C-alpha cells in the first residue's frame, strides 16, 4: 500500500503518524531520517507499507541534500579483494596488508542454519498451481525468511562500516568489477551469498566515495588480479579457486591468495596505469551541492570530511 508523502509524518525517531490510522511505534529507530527532516536537509517523497510474515514494514523514499566534496588527490590507494572466509582483504600498491575483515563466525553458522531450514521447507508441500501450501510448509518457510532477513541485515551493516571507513580514509579504492547479475547460475549457496555481498559492497562504495570525495576504480572483469605475481609480474595460466596461497614458479614468491589479488588491484589505482584514475588530483572550483537519492536506512548523518580546495 502506497501513501502520499503528505499522509505520513514522523512524530519522532520512533513514531510514525499515518493519516486516519494514527501514531504507530516503529521497531527500528528512524533517527537518521528524523534528523534530516528536522534540519531541513531531507524530505519524504513517498512511503510504502507492506505486510510480510505477519509483520508490517514501512519503507520511506527520501530525498537528501548533501554537500559533495571535491575529488581528493590520489595519495592513499587501496585495493580490495572480496572473499569467502575473509570478507575483505585490503592492500596498498607497495604490498602492505592494511585491511582484513573476517566473515564473522556467527554469519557462517547462520548460513548453515539457513541451508538446513531451506532443506526442511523443500520437503514440505509448498505453493503449487491449484494446490494450497501446507501449514507445515508455511511454518518452515517462515523460519527460512527470518534467518534470511537476520543474516542479510548483519552482513549489510558490516559492509556499511567497511565501505564508509574506506571512502573516508583512502583517496582511491580499487575493486574488481564483477558482473554479478550474470553470475548467478549453478552456484553454491556460499557463492550466492558472496555475490550478494560483492554487489552490496560495490553499490555502497559507489555513492560513499562520492560523499567523501574519493575515487572508486573498477578493474575490468578480465583483469587477472588473482593470477599475477605481485612480486615479479608473471601471470599464471591457471589458479584453482581452492588454492589459497599464491606460489610463484618463476621468482619463488609465496603470499596469501587474497593479499596477492588485493596488491594487484591496488596497483590498478596508481596514476598513469591504463585502468587507473584519470580524475586524480582534479579539483573543482567550488563544492557542488547535489541532491542524492539514498536508501532510507542510509539517510546517514555522517558528515563528509573537510577537503581543502
Give the interface with Zn ion as residue ranges (CB under 5 A). Answer: 229, 231-232, 234, 248, 250-251, 253
To Zn ion, the closest distance from the beta carbon of 141 in angstroms equals 51
Q: Are 270 and 42 spatial neighbours (Cβ–Cβ below 8 Å)?
A: no
Cross-sheet strand order for the sheet of 22-25: 8-12, 15-18, 22-25
Instruction: Give dist(CA 273, CA 264) in Å, integer.
Output: 12
CA 129 to each of CA 52, 135, 190, 216: distance values in angstroms, whole numbers, following the listed order: 21, 17, 30, 47
- Out of 171, 176, 195, 200, which one is annotated catalytic? 176
| Of residues 251 and 283, the one with the C-beta less far from Zn ion | 251
Q: Which residue has the cell 602492505?
A: 96
Active site residue 195: no
Q: Based on CB atoms, which residue is closest to Zn ion, 250 or 283? A: 250
List beta partners, residue 61. 46
With left for phi above 0 and alpha for psi between -120 and 50, is residue 186 left, alpha or beta? left
Single out the catalytic residue among 111, 195, 200, 258.
Answer: 258
Please confirm, yes or no, whether 176 is among the known catalytic residues.
yes
Q: Which among 81, 111, 171, 195 is annotated as catalytic?
A: 81
**Residue number, 251 or 293, with CB nearest to Zn ion:** 251
Residue with cell 501449514: 135
Known catalytic residue: 94?
A: no
Q: How far is the CB of 229 from Zn ion (least distance, A)?
A: 3
Is 82 in a helix, a strand, or coil? strand
Considering the complex, what minimum distance in angstroms separates the CB of residue 247 from Zn ion? 9
- Residue closer to Zn ion by CB (options 125, 254) is 254
**Least distance in angstroms from the C-beta of 232 to Zn ion:** 3
Residue 202 is given by DSSP the state H
- Catalytic residue list: 81, 176, 258
Amino acid at each position: 500500500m502506497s501513501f502520499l508523502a503528505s499522509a505520513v509524518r514522523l512524530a519522532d525517531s520512533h513514531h510514525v503518524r499515518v493519516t486516519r490510522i494514527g501514531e504507530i511505534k516503529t521497531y527500528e529507530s528512524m533517527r537518521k531520517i528524523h534528523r534530516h527532516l528536522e534540519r531541513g536537509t531531507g524530505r519524504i517523497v513517498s512511503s510504502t507499507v507492506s505486510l510480510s510474515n505477519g509483520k508490517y514494514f514501512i519503507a520511506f523514499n527520501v530525498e537528501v541534500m548533501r554537500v559533495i566534496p571535491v575529488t581528493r588527490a590520489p595519495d592513499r590507494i587501496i585495493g580490495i579483494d572480496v572473499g569467502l572466509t575473509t570478507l575483505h582483504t585490503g592492500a596498498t600498491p607497495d604490498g602492505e596488508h592494511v585491511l582484513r575483515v573476517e566473515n564473522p563466525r556467527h554469519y557462517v553458522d547462520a548460513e548453515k542454519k539457513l541451508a538446513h531450514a531451506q532443506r526442511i521447507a523443500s520437503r514440505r508441500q509448498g505453493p503449487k498451481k491449484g494446490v494450497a501450501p501446507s501449514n507445515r510448509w508455511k511454518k518452515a518457510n517462515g523460519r527460512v525468511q527470518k534467518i534470511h532477513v537476520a543474516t542479510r541485515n548483519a552482513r549489510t551493516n558490516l559492509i556499511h562500516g567497511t565501505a564508509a571507513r574506506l571512502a573516508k580514509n583512502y583517496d582511491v579504492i580499487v575493486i574488481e568489477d564483477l558482473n554479478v547479475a550474470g553470475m548467478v547460475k549453478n552456484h553454491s549457496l556460499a557463492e550466492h551469498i558472496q555475490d550478494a555481498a560483492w554487489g552490496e559492497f560495490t553499490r555502497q562504495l559507489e555513492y560513499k566515495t562520492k560523499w567523501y570525495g574519493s575515487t572508486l576504480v573498477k578493474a575490468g572483469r578480465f583483469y587477472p588480479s588473482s593470477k599475477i605475481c605481485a612480486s615479479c609480474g608473471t601471470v599464471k595460466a591457471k589458479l584453482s579457486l581452492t588454492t589459497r596461497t599464491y606460489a610463484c614458479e618463476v621468482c619463488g614468491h609465496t603470499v596469501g591468495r587474497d593479499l596477492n589479488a588485493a596488491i594487484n588491484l591496488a596497483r590498478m589505482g596508481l596514476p598513469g596505469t591504463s585502468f587507473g584514475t584519470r580524475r586524480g588530483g582534479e579539483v573543482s572550483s567550488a563544492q557542488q551541492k547535489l541532491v542524492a537519492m539514498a536508501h532510507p536506512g542510509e539517510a546517514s548523518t555522517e558528515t563528509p570530511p573537510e577537503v581543502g580546495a
